[in-house]
Amino acid sequence: MNSQFKKGVLDMCVLAMLDGNDSYGYDLADSLSRKIQLADGTVYPILRKLASEGYVTTYLKESQNGPPRKYYHLTPDGKRKLAGDRKEWREFAEAVDKLIGGIS
């Protein structure tokens, strides 16, 4: 898929993956790259950006086998951001579908 398409919505996708359950980098990278074809590394700069914007916070949590994992948690600000992005995306996607005659 066109990488410009992805770039715009990846922030929203990462926020959505964190909605309801905290997760750690490897897991997020793995599930994101399974659904949308992209490099596993992509998720890390996005996570840092979201953290610096205050949409997610991080904490360390022991894992059963191995060193502690860095978990990401959606903040109330992040939830609001996600709700807004979601609404905008739906409206946009709907309008584009109509334009290109997508959904039958």
Partner 1 sequence: MNKKEYLEKLESELGQMSYKDVRDIMADISEHFDEGVAHGKTEDEIAKGLGNPVELAKSFKEGGTVASVLQKRQAPVQNAKQKDTTASTLFVILFNLFVAIPLWIAIVTALITVGAIEVGLITGLVALIVGIPTFGNFLGAGICLAITILLVVIFVAVLLILVTKYFIIGTGKYIAWNKKIWKEGL
φ, ψ for residue 14, nearest 5 deg = -65, -40
Position 31 contacts partner 1 (CB under 8 A): no
Stretch that binds partner 1, among 15-23, 63-71, 77-85, 89-97 (CB under 8 A): 63-71
Position 6 contacts partner 1 (CB under 8 A): no
Stretch that binds partner 1, among 12-20, 47-55, 76-84, 90-98 (CB under 8 A): 47-55
Element (DSSP H or E) covering residue 103: none
Cα–Cα–Cα angle for 87, 42, 61, nearest 5°?
90
From candidates 14, 15, 42, 78, binder to partner 1 by CB under 8 A: 42
- Decide whether 16 or 58 has the Cβ nearer to partner 1: 58
Listed in sequence order, the residues at least 6 apart from 55 whose beta carbon sits closer than 8 Å to its beta carbon are 15, 74, 75, 77, 78, 81
